[in-house]
Amino acid sequence: MEYILMILLALILIFIAVVIFRAIMFKPKTQEKVEARIVEIDENKVAEHLAEMIRCKTVSRYDSKLIDEAEFDKFRALLPKLYPNVFNNCSYERVGSTGILIKWTGKASLKPTVLMSHYDVVPVIEDKWKKPPFEGVIEDGVLWGRGTLDTKGTLCGVMESVEHLIEKGFIPENDVYLAFSGDEEVNGPSAPAIVEELKTRGIQPALVLDEGGAVVEGVFPGLKQPCALIGIGEKGPMNLELSAKGNGGHASAPPPHTLVGLLAKAVVNIEKHPFKAQLTKPAAEMFDTLGRYSSFAFKIIFANLWCFKPLLDLLCKKKGGELNNVIKLRNKYYSYGTEYVYKYIPVLFLYNNLHILIFIKILEKA
């Protein structure tokens, strides 16, 4: 008996030693040095361009009768005015009802890059806004407006980068496609139409970049620095309709459990049963990269996911939000191009900011 206990104790000690040793060895990987450089971009001009985009009320609605088509036309007509270089040097075509496909021909066509974005926005309750949502007010260095983050900012960043590089005489190594839709917020058909169009032309991108997460702080456990969350899909919504039938009766003498209480219980039960966590390859790589910068307590978990996966699940569940999203993906990906990405493309870096410098860097390597 004592012998078995000794073995058990030894095993536990070995386990603890392995877990701690792995956490100690879990150090940041050496990174490619990024040299600092200055790109001359006129910030005020860019902000004014984005403000002009905000002034187009491109509000998407499920009921197509409520859509103000003129505002969408206004947005599309604005682009050649803001980006003459792009329109003089690239081909422009409309695909589907609101899709825009711009091709910037590179030196080769073998490994094309696709940069995506959408120019529609969700509706607003205007009087709940501190500043008007569609006037493009710039105050104290802040641009107010619906769509600045989701995601005309991205579209503007992409266009500014291409405009800038063309002006500098740059030609990308491979073709670059800019694919924008105006019905993303209502799961519209334009991005899928662009995907189909590219497929028909036999174009298989080497890289696709779409909107998604952001540079966040306080989301990744134990990490103090801001970090960019990687995502190749988005946890989708689910709509359920619950109904219950019961016996009638007088309001003065209700039964111990009313149907309302029962339904509430059912709703709570559904919330208690989210999709099972799954660690996809990109998510695992993200934990492996960011986990190395985390505090030691969390490093113990991230360095030992071979045994602490359930703990990670619990952690993500408690935290909710973006982190939980990362491991609660199902196979049903959003249709607006991410399906395409999932099938064909190795990398998708998500962004929701005006990172012109990042786009320039990507295009220079495209």
Catalytic positions, written as ranges = 120, 184
Q: How far apart are CA 193 and CA 275, in angstroms?
A: 30
Strands (E), the chain: 91-95, 99-104, 108-118, 138-139, 142-143, 174-181, 207-209, 215-216, 227-228
Per the CB < 8 A criterion, the answer to whether 99 and 180 are in contact is yes
Shortest distance in whole angstroms from residue 154 CB to Zn ion = 8
Q: How far apart are CA 168 and CA 249, in angstroms?
A: 79
Q: Which one of 87-95, 130-138, 146-154, 296-304 is the stretch in contact with Zn ion (CB under 5 A)?
A: 146-154
Neighbours of 263 (CB within 10 A): 13
Shortest distance in whole angstroms from residue 189 CB to Zn ion = 16
133 vs 221, which CB is nearer to Zn ion? 133
- Of the candidates 350, 304, 362, the one whose C-alpha atom is nearest the C-alpha of residue 325 is 350
Distances (CA, A) of 237 to 52, 190, 282, 308, 354: 32, 20, 22, 28, 27
x/- contact string, 186-215, with Zn ion (CB under 5 A)? -------------------------x----
211 vs 313, which CB is nearer to Zn ion? 211
Q: How far apart are CA 279 and CA 75, in angstroms?
A: 40
Q: Is 151 in the site for Zn ion (CB under 5 A)?
A: yes
Shortest distance in whole angstroms from residue 352 CB to Zn ion = 8
Shortest distance in whole angstroms from residue 122 CB to Zn ion = 9
x/- contact string, 210-229, with Zn ion (CB under 5 A)? -x------------------
Shortest distance in whole angstroms from residue 121 CB to Zn ion = 8
160 vs 211, which CB is nearer to Zn ion? 211
Q: How far apart are CA 47 and CA 50, in angstroms?
A: 5
154 vs 161, which CB is nearer to Zn ion? 154
Shortest distance in whole angstroms from residue 337 CB to Zn ion = 12
Q: How far apart are CA 328 and CA 315, in angstroms?
A: 13
- Of the candidates 183, 219, 162, 228, the one whose C-alpha atom is nearest the C-alpha of residue 337 is 183
Q: Which one of 28-36, 147-155, 200-208, 304-312 is the stretch in contact with Zn ion (CB under 5 A)?
A: 147-155
Virtual torsion, Cα 314, 315, 319, 324, nearest 10 deg: -70
* 181 strand-pairing partners: 118
Shortest distance in whole angstroms from residue 185 CB to Zn ion = 7
Residue type, 226: P
147 vs 291, which CB is nearer to Zn ion? 147
Side by side, the strands of the sheet bearing 99-104 are 91-95, 99-104, 174-181, 108-118, 207-209
147 vs 221, which CB is nearer to Zn ion? 147
Q: How far apart are CA 91 and CA 100, in angstroms?
A: 11
49 vs 152, which CB is nearer to Zn ion? 152
Per the CB < 8 A criterion, the answer to whether 177 and 114 are in contact is yes
Q: Which of 120, 150, 160, 183 binds Zn ion (CB under 5 A)?
A: 150
What is the binding site for Zn ion (CB under 5 A)?
A: 150-151, 211
